[in-house]
Amino acid sequence: MRGDRGGPIIAIDGPSGAGKSTVARALASRLGLRYLDTGAMYRAVTAAVLAAGIAPEDAERVAAYVPSVQLAISDDALPARVSVDGRDVTTEIRSAPVTAAVSAVSAVPPVRAAMVDRQRRLIGAGGIVVEGRDIGTVVAPDADLKVFLTADPGERAARRARENDADVGPTEADLVRRDRLDSSRTASPLAQAPDALVLDSTHLDPDAVVDRILAALRTADATAGGKP
């Protein structure tokens, strides 16, 4: 299955609050692989857009500005550390203004194209777990294993509210808004790859999700003639 790669490429897609980051980091740690949070990359360039005084809805200015942003992101199995133009934005990218603006910035087609190119270069020869919304469909359609992780909207909202010490009601409304924007954009929308393993994490803890992914990876290895 891995061919001449430096290891497998595992794509984990799904909506916000489904548990992608926790699962992807745990999976990368257990397999000794690199980890890439593509959502953090979009948040980072969104933070740069806001810092530059550009309105997220001004698609023309956003498209002209983002490709010039110098972005660096960690690839170990830990929460992503991110900088733009040499400035650490790791905390800033989780702020309310960035969360409110990231879907608009991410929907700009030239932004998607520039970021997909960066993500493919970071993936390189493989040996990586990549999480996002379009990994299995656009960024790495030849990934060795594609996972679409989802959960009940109420559960996703409750998880995100606990993370941010926020009220569930407004959090769920924001998740619904982001789901709609991410699924309806013309460039690289949130979508389930036809050959993805679909996992509903509503009633599963992260370890159980990781175990199911590992079982699927062993099955795929065995089918391709590798060792289970």
**Domain residue spans of the chain:** 8-222
For residues 179 and 28, what is the distance between their CA atoms, to the nearest angstrom? Answer: 26
- Residue 122's CB is within 10 A of a number of other CB atoms, namely 17
Say what the pTM is: 0.88
Q: Which of 2-16, 31-45, 69-83, 143-157 has the lowest mean pLDDT?
A: 2-16
Q: In Å, what is the CA distance from 222 to each residue of 1, 33, 227?
A: 9, 20, 6
- Mean pLDDT rounded to a whole number for the chain: 91
* pLDDT over 70 (residue 222): no
For 15, how many CA atoms within 13 A lie in the half-sphere containing its CB?
A: 25
Nearest to 182 by CA among 114, 133, 143: 133
Task: Find all residues with CB under 8 Å of 52, minimum gap 6, and list them.
Answer: 65
* pLDDT over 70 (residue 5): no
CATH architecture of 8-222: 3-Layer(aba) Sandwich (3.40)
| Predicted pLDDT of residue 225 | 59
CA triple 140-211-214, angle to 5 deg: 40
| DSSP run (H or E) holding 70 | none
* pLDDT over 50 (residue 227): no
**Chain center to CA of 192:** 13
